[in-house]
Structure 1
Amino acid sequence: MTHQHGTQLTGHVQLSLVIPVFNEAATIDLFIARITDVFKDETLIGLEMVFVNDGSTDTTLDLLLERQQTDSRLRIVDLSRNFGKEAALTAGLQTATGQVVVPIDVDLQDPPEVILEMIALWREGYEVVLGHRVSRKTDSWAKQTSANWFYRLHNKIAEQHLPENVGDFRLMDRCVVDALQTLPESRRFMKGLFAWVGFRTTHVNYERLERVAGASKFNGWRLWNFALEGITSFSTEPLRIWTYLGLFVSLISFSFAIFIILRTLISGVDLPGYASLMVAVTFLGGLQLIGIGVLGEYLGRTYIESKRRPVYLVRRVYDPKD
């Protein structure tokens, strides 16, 4: 029996894992071994592992090609350079062939065992099953705090809300993946796009673990730019905020001008010091520069999108049949 959206309520299911990798030679063998152990019953779940090599400079690609010789479940998409995780995810989703697709990091912070729970919920008719972290104890205090503030700010000013403490780790039905592939933007904030397409959604709770090996490729600066990308991708509210702020400052300036005129008429000519004048000039100059920066951020996005460049370029796709 089959659900109207393609969900199989019983029987065999074809699962594709989308795994972006960038200099992850230390984790690949551990990841494949864990996945093999979790999905050893091939009568219920047919597995495809789509590794997207995002311009690695270590032995990641060589190691993947070596493992593919003995494991036909591996497909390898080798990008022409490092395009970033969002582009790598896009490439993996466009390559995956499964009925259900799960993006997952190779560092095993997201336990593969949770996918079995996701598939059970998918069989009940859900088209998206989110992996919801019950805590962020594996993150530093700074990362926890910045993440909380980002979700609060984004969900306050953007029309499309992001589920809090949910990353890219989720199960998506084929119809959801097909819908994502119709979205044309070049600058892609995948968490926002995942939320934007909608569909019938539920979640499973899980505890995020420490990395099994290697180090995270995200630093504070990249996370800041990532947050900025997310806010400007799905909200024009920052532009509106600067309009209101400019109006507010103008009203204060106008009120102060009236105050000076009245005081001069009543008390005579008054020549205040330069300190207050410099503070006012630098304050207003700073506001103008920030406002120009916000405008520039949106104008830059428009400029990039107008070029219609592809999100990524593929050097080669290595299929096990090749």
Structure 2
Amino acid sequence: MNKTDRPAISVVAPCFNEEGVLPEFLQRVGAVLDRLAATAGPEAAGSGSTEIVLVDDGSTDGTWRVMAEAAARDRRVVAVRLMRNHGHQLALTAGLSICRGARILIIDADLQDPPELLPDMMTLMDEGADVVYGQRRLREGESLFKRGTAAAFYRLIGRLTDVEIPCDTGDFRLVDRRILDLLLAMPERHRFIRGMVAWIGGRQVALVYDRKARVAGESKYPLKKMMGFAVDAITGFSVVPLMASMTIGWIMAAVGFAFFLYSIVGWFLGVNLPGWTSLMAAIGLLAGMQFLMLGVIGAYLGRLYDQSKGRPLFMIRDIVGGDR
């Protein structure tokens, strides 16, 4: 697509059971885009045109109906329905692969991240930023446990990888088309998009804001999904857990050798060595560490197996709206 044919801005939002919040989301995003269009100069890419790409990630409520009706009313809205639930990161990837804008705002539909920050993001990008990411100062409506585990996760992954992934950030960001094209060229299935964007590099600038509570509905990231997301992030950006198995192996070998020397010295000195307790403790420790390391290796191997099958990242059922 020629640069002059592109919309100036695409807003991409994955949705899963967001029937209750979508009308307000569309109203607020539409108002922001209207204000930007009214102030856009003739030099803006796409002559100030905009689009909103909504991706239904296998919702079980009326999310698709709301999206399709919005697409019928507003030509800026493009409604995409996936064949089944693929998960947030792949649903987001589907929307990013369809959007056409010169600049792309990634945002969740729950309105915890305010779309009204888009003009400020646009200003930072006008000043030369390739990516403008939202960095959370406050996180309203989230439990102490979730805030604590999120903080611990970002600091852990910062130590495990040489990619600088900003703390206290999500997928809420404005990216340039060049960055998006590079992102879409990355084929991995287990995606950690905020880390992938950080890996690409370029000039990435933070915009600090206060994250609000959900307008409606419940969080789509319970503890189980959060843990799976953390595993995907760590295995996708660090081999430190694999290398740790070698370190632990050397430590356990040293412990075993020390027990060997202890046994030999005791035999020469005629000392009655402890039997059952020490033997079971040593066996239990060694076996536990072996199974732990096998689990780490299995996590990496399982991801290699998934990637080797070469299946599509997502499957689209319907696209409604725009000029599709």
Give the TM-score of the pair, scaled to structure 2: 0.92
Q: Which whole-Å CA distance do the structure 2 matches of 1:40 and 1:318 have between them?
A: 22
* Counterpart in the other structure of 2:16: 22
* Counterpart in the other structure of 1:3: none
1:142 equivalent to 2:145? Answer: yes
Map 1:96-245 onto structure 2 (within 5 A). Answer: 96-245=99-248
* Counterpart in the other structure of 1:316: 318
* Counterpart in the other structure of 2:278: 276
Q: Is the 8 A contact 1:16 1:48 kept in 2?
A: yes
1:39 equivalent to 2:33? Answer: yes
Q: Which whole-Å CA distance do the structure 2 matches of 1:39 and 1:90 have between them?
A: 22
Q: Which whole-Å CA distance do the structure 1 matches of 2:141 and 2:103 have between them?
A: 28
Match of 1:286 among 267, 285, 288: 288
What displacement does 1:136 show? 2.9
Q: Is the 8 A contact 2:139 2:212 kept in 1?
A: no
Q: Is the 8 A contact 2:11 2:105 kept in 1?
A: yes
Aligned sequence identity (%): 39
Letter of the 2:56 partner, please give it. N
1:90 equivalent to 2:78? Answer: no
SS in 2 for 1:280: helix
What displacement does 1:269 show? 5.0
SS in 2 for 1:207: strand
1:56 equivalent to 2:59? Answer: yes
- Structure number with the higher helix fraction is 2
Letter of the 1:40 partner, please give it. D
* Counterpart in the other structure of 1:80: 83
Letter of the 2:154 partner, please give it. Y
* Counterpart in the other structure of 2:74: 71
What displacement does 1:159 show? 1.9
Q: Deviations over 1:228-263 (max 9, x none)?
A: 110000111101111101110110110121022112
What displacement does 1:165 show? 0.6
Q: Which whole-Å CA distance do the structure 2 matches of 1:258 and 1:114 have between them?
A: 66
What displacement does 1:103 show? 0.8
Match of 2:304 among 298, 302, 305: 302
Aligned-pair Cα RMSD in Å = 1.7
Q: Is the 8 A contact 2:138 2:211 kept in 1?
A: yes
Q: Deviations over 1:87-134 (max 9, x none)?
A: 011111111111100110111100111111000111111111111111
What displacement does 1:46 show? 2.9
SS in 1 for 2:125: helix
Q: Which whole-Å CA distance do the structure 1 matches of 2:215 and 2:317 have between them?
A: 29
What displacement does 1:38 show? 2.4
Q: Is the 8 A contact 1:187 1:311 kept in 2?
A: no
Q: Which whole-Å CA distance do the structure 2 matches of 1:53 and 1:204 have between them?
A: 28
Give the TM-score of the pair, scaled to structure 1: 0.93
SS in 1 for 2:205: strand
Q: Is the 8 A contact 1:154 1:161 kept in 2?
A: no
Q: Is the 8 A contact 1:186 1:308 kept in 2?
A: no
Q: Which whole-Å CA distance do the structure 1 matches of 2:292 and 2:238 have between them?
A: 17
Unaligned runs of 5+ residues in structure 2 are: 41-47
Q: Which whole-Å CA distance do the structure 1 matches of 2:208 and 2:237 have between them?
A: 26
Q: Which whole-Å CA distance do the structure 1 matches of 2:51 and 2:261 have between them?
A: 72
